[in-house]
Amino acid sequence: MRRHAKTAIRISEAEWLVMKALWAKAPAASRDIVAAVAPETHWNAKTILTLVRRLVDKGAVGFTRTARINLYFPKVTEREGVKMETRSFLKRIFGGSLQPMLAHFVREAELSEQDVAELRRILDDSRPKPAADRPRLRRVRS
């Protein structure tokens, strides 16, 4: 069962690494999660499994018990996770306003001509279409 986008789950930076492992391969047994996360972090298995338990408690991860092992799976998609984190960041740092955040990144980043062109294309594509360009719905009379 998916959580509604309005119910944000706060995922720490450390927990994010566990989520990435599960998004890459789920369902996964505890040993598989440890094998995926430990080489990157050098954390011991107990630390990683504590993060898994915290994610289960938060509702971001679920599990099914088969035989003697738990198989873990993400209860939010990667897209939903990114969306929640983006909204949280935007709210905390920029008061929820997108324009100051974009202005900051554009001013602070070293953008290539290709980057600028891609940003322009994205912004142009996000503009609302004029009424004349939108398909018209026909009314059906009963």
Angle of the 45-58 helix axis to the 30-41 helix axis, nearest 10: 120
Task: Record the tokens describing residue 123, joined without a space.
Answer: 């912004």
The owner of tokens 């873990």 is 72
Longest dimension (CA), the chain: 68
CB 30 within 8 A of CB 60: no
**Calpha distance 72→49 (Å, rounded):** 11
Strands (E), the chain: 28-29, 61-66, 69-74
Domain 1-95: give its CATH architecture: Orthogonal Bundle (1.10)
Per-residue pLDDT of the chain (142 residues; tens, 9 = 90+): 444 444 678 899 999 999 999 999 999 999 999 999 999 999 999 999 999 999 999 999 999 998 889 999 999 999 999 999 888 889 999 998 888 888 898 888 888 999 989 988 988 888 877 766 656 555 555 5
The domain ranges of the chain are 1-95, 96-126
pTM tops 0.85: no
pLDDT at 3: 47
